[in-house]
Every structure is written in structure tokens, then in C-alpha cells.
Amino acid sequence: MGQISKRRSSVSFDYSAMSFTPPSDPVNRKSEIKVSQLCELCHCRKALLRRPKNLQKVCKLCFFHVFETEIHNTIVSNKLFHRGEKVAVGASGGKDSTVLAYILKLLNERHDYGIEIILLSIDEGIIGYRDDSLATVKRNQVQYNLPLEIVSYRDLYNWTMDEIVACAGVRNSCTYCGVFRRQALDRGAAKLGIAHVVTGHNADDMAETVLMNIFRGDVARLEKSTAIITQSTGSPIKRSKPFKYSYQKEIVLYAHYKKLDYFSTECSYAPEAFRGTARELMKNLEMQRPSCILDIIHSGENLVLKPKRQKKISPSEVMEVRSDGAVSLGRPSKFVDGNTCERCGYLSSNKICKACILLEGLERNRAKMTLDTDTSTGGAARLTRELERLTF
Amino acid sequence: MVVQDVCKRCRQGQVSVLSRKEPFCNDCFSKFVSAKQRKQMMCEPYCQDVFKVLYQDKVRSEAESVEQNAHSKVLVPLSFGSSSVVLLDILNDTLTEQKETQRGKTGFHIDVLVCGRDQDDIVRYREMADRLLSERYASNREKIKFHFLSVESFYKDCGGELDTILVDSADFSSRSIVENGELNREFGVEDLLKQCPDRSSRQDLLTILSSRLIKKFAYQNKHKIILWGHSMTKLADETISLVVKGRGSQIASMLSIDECDPLFDNSFKNLYPLQDVLLSEIDAYCYIKHLDPFMIDYIPQDTLLVEKQRNPELVSAPRSVKNLTLNEIARKYFDDVEADYSNVISTVVRTALKLGEPETPKPERCSICRANVHMDPSEYLQTITVSENHPIETTEESALYDKWNESQFSNQKIENTTLRDSIPQKAVSTSLCYGCLINVNRMKGRKLTWPQHSKSELETILDAFEL
Ligand SMILES: [Zn+2]
Ligand SMILES: [Zn+2]
Ligand SMILES: [Zn+2]
Ligand SMILES: [Zn+2]
């Protein structure tokens, strides 16, 4: 018993070291196994962990089996792939995308999906974070024998994330990161002639998004927040989330028991405070009822808006950079087929795409910054004031 | 904190409440709360016709207006918490006002329904109802009636047979068996609660069954509207709790004011007159209007009052999150964020009011909560929660399996799982919504006993007594 709990408590590992040594398994002395210690699924091996999803006591092999099968079921029942499809895994070196790359390769071979998997990595240019994680992706490339392609923010936008943060403030980094990363993956994929990008978004992310959309009253996103496949009309790139129903804790456990090599540090720019409160709420709910992550997703899948009374004409996409540099992105009422950004030629429902609008703000600001360097009157405060005037 | 001395609205009253960043005097705050409730009561034509004093006009004759005023009965479920007591008090004020301005006439009358778990509850509630009637509603006595009902009526007055609903642990399918006579007579709410694994599921089931009782009472007594006491805060945590329990698609029907309740022959509407008032505001109103002595098992919070109450009971020991129900966790969340993100509660309620029901042609109804079932939850769960095992690989494992097979553990498992084998003919497949399936799946023995739904269930008169 003591052995089980010890194993369980050591779930998070630090694999940040550049060289990788897999953890070793404890030696199982089978003769001493009591019936009460057996796996609740196979009844023939010692239970090693409690599944975070339903608290079932299971052995390692059964855990692998159910975890993998659930993802396979998700892929099949949602028809995520078709034979001959080229699929890019958005690889960050983090646990979600590492496990995703590993599992897709495994399932592709086991169930003969007939897909071609490519690792696609974005170098945002965050010193200390991306350096190490890119090294992890490069090791994954060798370990899983999958092709790797790296696209950098510098190449795409002429800005690194560190420069963006210096310019727009830490608090807004996730907005910028989100818009840029999303495009970067799509552009990278397009460049490689790949029409499908899979990402490691897991059930916890999904559930959190459902709650956040309700807390923020983000009606435009409410209905689609749990969609497993997203694709703008007319866009050549399809995105999907095979981990939609996989618990974060199980992904970590899987990576651990499979001794996968991943980079454990999360993005050094922490989520904004309000999202933090939702995360805390989720933690409390999951403690009370483990199934609630799936329950929330199920609810999210069934949230629909009342038919609108024909009163207001919905405004076309509005984007605004607020006084604190935060960005609110309006939603296009309808994606107009085949529209492209005037500046970069990337698909966009508006004349100018989100990334280009953000870039314009940044560029103006960079000009201000260089002008302001000699005036010592409070750089940060000044910067904020300058950002206040940025409206589009 | 710097407090302004003079109320911003009337510019003379002394400030006693701070709400939504505004300082109020007692009078102005009472008006503020009461106006919000009255606005909801007049929110659309159906409700206006019920509450207003009607006179002869283009659409109705004199006789018809008298008749309509007399038949405008509304039902107020009363829990003796702050919200329902405040709701009732404002309704009483409305009656008084109508009598004063409409030469003694009123547009409606009120039936108050009090549900108790046991006889002790009922005795306490009855005493308090007596006090309310004599101390506060004496002048409107003929317009306000109290009714008392035991939750046991849920099984006792269900007019038919009970079903035991079972969930298969392997494929999450649900089946029901008609219970034999003995269980039919003896099964009660306490038996049901005993099968629950935790407070959350007890609360969930109690909410479902008392709401069923209240609505059935309204149906049988021809009420036009049920006035629920829910504050904005309560609606927000109910919304989040429904989402958390996998009942997201049921939010719309809970809040629907556009149509009458379709489960009860469209005979009444559900209204939440306090949906624009925060719980903290309702609690402040209780103190200002001296309603706090009429609460049972509830102490109003004094957070918005300038002058605190110095009630030692107000400072309750913080409970560990582990023991909270899902609703309580949601409530705690709103309490915690209210200071920093003041509009989250109203945003959640506003969002909830924009929700509709998924469009499913001819959805089945859940055998427990009667909600529309929009997708088969067992199929859904089966796909994403696999319970198949990795095969036996070695002789050692095979030996362990044999050992298990002979032990008492295997018997337990068989009893719980292979429904299909143990109850072959009598069990019929039954429809459950996702939320109820999750609930039953967590009950002891993965089963739950519930009245069958039928016309006779709806028509069997509830054994309530009147005060
Ligand atoms: Zn096993
Ligand atoms: Zn562009
Ligand atoms: Zn005043
Ligand atoms: Zn149900």
C-alpha cells in the first residue's frame, strides 16, 4: 500500500535537465499481492494508481489500455482523420504535446489510420523557456522518428515574444501569444502543405474554457467552445483536439509511466488573474467530484443560444486595444469566404488580420519607445498611456 | 472606509447601506429592492394580467375583470431563508398598496407553500407562519394562505408504482424495474437519501423532488405563477452548478419566462422576481425591514450594512472545501470574486438568460428529472470512459485472476455490474439525462427508486394542510 501512495505522490517530475534519464520502475514482488490490491479492471495485476477520471484502482497496463482506447474512440467517433492525411502535431516540448505525438504515432500504427505525422514547433523567442523546450522537441524527433519543422516568431512577425512583452506588458502577453501562436501554427502548416494541425488541448482546458465563457458572458464563443474540430470557412487549415476528453492528470501519469521525455516548465508568462480564479474553482470542484471535468464539457456541448430577436444588426468584427494594453477581439459575424489580409495575405474575415492589427500597435509603440528613451519620466507608466491611445 | 453621510438618492436620509458602490438610506434602499422585484412581476403581459387590478376595458367585461382578479392565484414556495421571506414581504406590501389605491381591491392572492423534511420541521415552520401572519400580514390575511407539505408526499402521494432505476457499470445503460408492493408502501425520502454517496447528490435529488412537489401543487391548485425566491446570486450559482453537473442544457428551461411550464400542461409560469437583486442586498433588506426574526436556519449577512450587526453567529467557521456541495463551492466562488470582479454574478445570470434548449426532434424525457434528453448519455460515456481491461498475459497473472474469481470481491462486482444477466425479463430500458445518469451511477448499488411518471402521479392530490 505504501508503495502505491508513494508512486502516486511523485507525479510531477522535472525533466528540465538537458540529458534525459528515464525513472526506473519499483520491483513488484508478486507473491505478496492480496486480492484487495488487484486492479479493478483486469483483476490479475496489482493496482498501481487511482484513475483521476473515476478513481478506479488500476494496474499500469490497464491504465495504458483505457487511456489510449479513449483517445482512439474520440478520434474514430469524431472522424478526425482520413487515410493519407498529413497531420502536424503542434509540438511545444511540454507534456501535452509530447504525449500527443507519442500516442498519435502509436495509434496510427496500431489501428492503421494511414496518416503522416509531422512535428511542428513554434519558436516564440522566450529566452530560457523555448531554448530548453525546443531541445526537448528535437529529442522527441529522434525518439519517435518523426519529421520536425520549426517556425519562429522572428521569421513570421519580426518580433520575438520577449520583445512583445517588453513592449505591451506582461499582463497582456497571453493575448498576443494566443493570436500569434495560432497563426504561426497555421502558417507553418500551410508552408509545409499540411491541412490539419492537432493540438494538445485537454479536458481540463476545455472545461475551464466553458466556465470562463460563462463568467465573461462571451456569448459569441459559448456555443462552439467545446468543438473538437475548428475550421474557419474557407481556411485551408483544420484544427483538432484528440485530448478533448483526456484529463490533464492522466496525461501526466501516462507520460510518467511511459517514461516520456518532456519539458515540465509551463509558459513563464502566467495566465491572467481572472482565469486563475476559474482554475482554482475547477480544482475545488474536481476534488469534490472527479467526473465534473467531463460533466462540464458535456454541458458545454449542449449550450445553445436562444434564437435572436431580429433587432440588432451584429457589428462586424471589432478589435480594440484597451487602456491597459489588453486586447478585446470581437467576433466576425460571418466568415467571408476566401478573404485575405491586405497586409500579409493570410486568411482573415477582415481587411486586416488580427496579427497584423496587433503588430501595427506594437510597431507604433516601438517607435514611441525609441523616441521616449531619453525622457526619464516613468517608462512603464508612459508606455501604458501611449497604449491607451491605440485604437483601431 | 470613508462613508458619505447623506443618501445620494433623496439627499436627506442617513446612509445605512452601501450597495453597487452607492450609499443608500433605509427608505431609498427598500424602494430600490422592492422596485426591482415589482419590475420583474410586470415584465410581460401574462404577469401583468395576474398582478394588476383589472377593470372593465376593451378586452373584458366588468364581470370578467372581477372573475380574473379572483382567479389570479400565485404560489410562493417559502423556505424561511432571506430570499423567499423578502419576496413574500414585498408581495404583501404590493397587496396593501393596491388596497389603498384601488379602493380596497387587489389584483391577486397568494398561496404560500412550505415543504418540510419531517414533523419537527413542520411544527417549527407552522409557528413561524403564525407569527408572520399575525405580526406582519394581519391586514391582508384574507389574501394570504399558508400550506404545509411533507416531502414524503413525493412517494406517498405519487398515485402509482415505484420504479427502481439501475445503471450498468460496464456500458452505462439504464434500466428500470417496477417495484413490488412492499417497497411501494414503505420507501421514503430518507431511504433515498441514505443511498446517496455525498451531500452534493442528496442536495441534487432533494432539489429535483421538492421542485416537482411545488410544481405539482401549483398545477393541482390552478396557480397562474410560481414566484421563486432565487436571488441573482442564487441563480448564478445554480447556473454554474447545473453546468458542473452536466445539466447545462437544462438552464434554459429553468429560467424560461416566455412560456408556461410544459411539464405541467402549460398551466403556470415560473418567475424569479428577485433575479436582479444580489443575495447580499436581500440580506441587508432583511435587517432594514426587521425581517431577520422570521428566518429559520438562516442568518442574513450584514456585509452591505454600514452599521454591523455584532451577531456572533454571523462569523461561522470556514468549512473545508472537501465537505461542500457543488452548489456551495459555486457560491463560495462568487463570494470570493465579488470584491475584485463585481459584475461576474450579473454576467453569469445575463448569459444564462440568453440560453436556449438544443433542438432535438422528439427528445425523450429523463425518467428522474423529466428534462429533455438531447443525446444518449450512455453511448457518450462509453466512448470516453473505457472499462475494458488489458488481457491476462502471464501464468502468474492468470493465477491471481483465479484467486480473485474465488474471493468475495468477485461476487460484489457481479452484483453491481451484470444487470442484464441478473434481471433478465422484468427490466426495461429507460431514458436518463446525463446529470441523472451520473447521479445514479454514484449511488449505492448504482440504483435509485423513483415514482413512475403518469397522469395519475400528476393528479393524485398532495396531502397538504392549510393554515
Ligand atoms: Zn489491470
Ligand atoms: Zn495580416
Ligand atoms: Zn435616501
Ligand atoms: Zn434527469
At B158-191, the pLDDT tens digits run 887 889 999 988 889 999 988 776 666 788 999 9
Q: What are phi and psi of B136, to 5 degrees?
A: -125, -30
Which chain B residue shows the shortest CA-CA distance from A30? B396
**pLDDT by position in tens, chain A (length 392):** 333 333 333 333 443 434 555 556 555 554 578 888 999 999 999 999 999 999 999 999 999 999 999 999 999 999 999 999 999 998 888 889 899 999 999 999 999 999 999 999 888 877 776 677 788 888 888 889 999 998 888 877 888 888 888 877 766 766 777 778 777 888 888 878 899 999 999 999 999 999 999 999 998 888 888 999 987 666 688 999 999 999 999 999 999 999 998 877 655 555 677 888 999 999 999 999 999 999 999 999 999 999 876 544 444 334 444 444 444 444 443 344 456 777 777 767 678 887 888 888 888 877 665 554 444 344 344 344 334 433 33
Give me A94's grid cell.
Answer: 511540454
User: Binning pLDDT at 50, 70 and 90, where does residue B342 land?
Assistant: confident
Among the partner-chain residues A69, A211, A277, the one whose CB lies closest to the CB of B386 is: A69
CA contacts within 13 A on the Cβ side of B237: 22
Question: Which residues face A117 on adjacent strands?
Answer: A87
Return the ligand number nearest the Cα of B435: 4
Q: How far is CA B225 from CA A16, B217, B273, in A?
A: 63, 12, 11
Indicate the SS3 state at residue A207: helix
Indicate the SS3 state at residue A31: helix
Q: What are phi and psi of A161, to 5 degrees?
A: -60, -40
With contacts defined as CB-CB under 8 Å, which chain A residues touch B381?
A: 294
pLDDT value at residue A23: 58
Q: How far is ligand 4, taken at its centre, from the CA of residue B174, in Å? A: 12
Mutate to test the interface with A, among B259, B327, B379, B385 (most CBs of A within 10 A): B385
Instruction: Give a three-class secondary structure readout of chain B.
Output: CCCCCECCCCCCCEEEEEECCEEEEHHHHHHHHHHHHHHHHCCCHHHHHHHCCCCCCCCCCHHHHHHHHHHCEEEEECCCCHHHHHHHHHHHHHHHHHHHHCCCCCCCEEEEEEEECCHHHHHHHHHHHHHHHHHCCHHHHHHEEEEEEECCHHHHCCCCCEEEEEECCCCCCEEEEECCHHHHHHCCHHHHHHCCCCHHHHHHHHHHHHHHHHHHHHHHCCCCEEECCCCHHHHHHHHHHHHHCCCHHHHHHHHCCCCCCHHHCCCCEEECCCCCCCHHHHHHHHHHCCCHHHCCCCCCCCCCECCCCCCHHHCCCCCCHHHCCHHHHHHHHHHHHHCCCCCHHHHHHHHHHCEECCCCCCCEECCCCCCEECCCHHHHHHHHCCCCCCCCCCHHHHHHHHHHHHCHHHHHHHHHHCHHHHCCCCCEECCCCHHHHHHHHHCHHHEEEEECCCHHHHHCCCCCEEC
Q: Which B positions 297-326 lie with beta carbon below 8 A of chain A?
A: 321-322, 324-326
Give me B34's grid cell.
Answer: 422592492
Q: Which B positions 354-413 lie with beta carbon below 8 A of chain A?
A: 354-359, 374-375, 377, 380-381, 383-393, 396-398, 400-401, 403-405, 407, 409-410
pLDDT value at residue B204: 92
CA contacts within 13 A on the Cβ side of A168: 28
Domain-by-domain residue ranges, chain B?
44-152+188-309+321-358, 161-185+375-387+396-460
Gyration radius (Cα) of chain B, Å? 25
Whether residue A273 is annotated as binding a ligand: the answer is: no
Among the partner-chain residues A43, A59, A291, the one whose CB lies closest to the CB of B404 is: A43
Neighbours of B106 (CB within 10 A): 22
With cell 364581470, the residue in question is B63
Amino acid at B205: L
Whether residue A4 is annotated as binding a ligand: the answer is: no
Q: Quick check: A217 and B354 in contact, CB under 8 A?
A: no
Of the candidates B354, B273, B339, which has an alpha carbon nearest to the alpha carbon of residue B303?
B339
Is the domain B44-152+188-309+321-358 a CATH 3.40.640.10 member?
no
With cell 478526425, the residue in question is A80
Return the ligand number nearest the Cα of A350: 2
Cα separation of B90 and B441, whole Å?
43
> In the predicted model, is pLDDT for residue B275 greater than 90?
yes
pLDDT value at residue A26: 56
Cα separation of A283 and A52, whole Å?
12
Longest dimension (CA), chain B: 93
DSSP state, residue A229: E
Class of domain A60-302: alpha beta
Phi-psi region at A387: left, alpha or beta (left = phi > 0; alpha = psi -120 to 50): alpha
β-strand pairing of B372-373 with B364-365:
antiparallel
Cα separation of B435 and B438, whole Å?
5
Q: Who has greater pLDDT, A2 or B321?
A: B321
Long-range contacts of range A383-389, CB-CB < 8 Å, 24 or more positions apart? A383/A167, A383/A169, A384/A169, A384/A323, A384/A324, A384/A325, A387/A168, A387/A169, A387/A321, A387/A323, A387/A324, A387/A325, A387/A361, A388/A322, A388/A323
pLDDT value at residue A17: 39
The percentage of residues in chain B with a pLDDT greater than 70, rounded to a whole number, is 93
Q: How far is ligand 3, taken at its centre, from the CA of residue B233, in Å? A: 25
> pLDDT for B55-103, tens place per residue?
998 888 989 888 888 889 999 999 999 999 999 999 999 999 999 999 9
Which chain B residue shows the shortest CA-CA distance from A45? B397
Of the candidates B146, B221, B184, which has an alpha carbon nearest to the alpha carbon of residue B459?
B221
Q: What are phi and psi of B115, to 5 degrees?
A: -105, 130
Interface predicted TM-score (ipTM): 0.93
DSSP string, A133-189: HHHHHHHHHHHHT--EEEEEHHHHHS--HHHHHHHH-GGGHHHHHHHHHHHHHHHHH
Query: Are A295 and B200 within 8 A, CB to CB?
Result: no
Cα separation of B395 and A225, whole Å?
48
Mean pLDDT of chain B: 90
Cα separation of A7 and A11, whole Å?
7
pTM exceeds 0.90, yes or no: no
Whether residue A173 is annotated as binding a ligand: the answer is: no
Cα separation of B448 and B196, whole Å?
9
Q: How far is ligand 4, taken at its centre, from the CA of residue A198, in Å? A: 35
Cα separation of B357 and A223, whole Å?
12
Domain-by-domain residue ranges, chain A?
60-302, 318-329+340-390
With cell 505522490, the residue in question is A9
Return the ligand number nearest the Cα of A345: 2
Q: Which B positions 33-62 lie with beta carbon below 8 A of chain A?
A: none
* Residues, beta carbon < 5 Å, ion ligand 3: B 7, 9-10, 13, 25, 28
> In the predicted model, is pLDDT for residue B316 greater than 90?
no
Of the candidates B307, B228, B233, B296, which has an alpha carbon nearest to the alpha carbon of residue B40?
B228
Q: Of the given ranges (B6-15, B23-32, B80-89, B408-417), which has the lowest mean pLDDT?
A: B408-417
Average pLDDT for residues B2-22, to the nearest whole number?
86
DSSP state, residue A306: P
CA–centroid distance for B286 within its chain: 21
Q: What are phi and psi of A202, to 5 degrees?
A: -110, 180
* Residues, beta carbon < 5 Å, ion ligand 4: B 366, 368-369, 371, 433, 436
With contacts defined as CB-CB under 8 Å, which chain A residues touch B434?
A: 295, 298
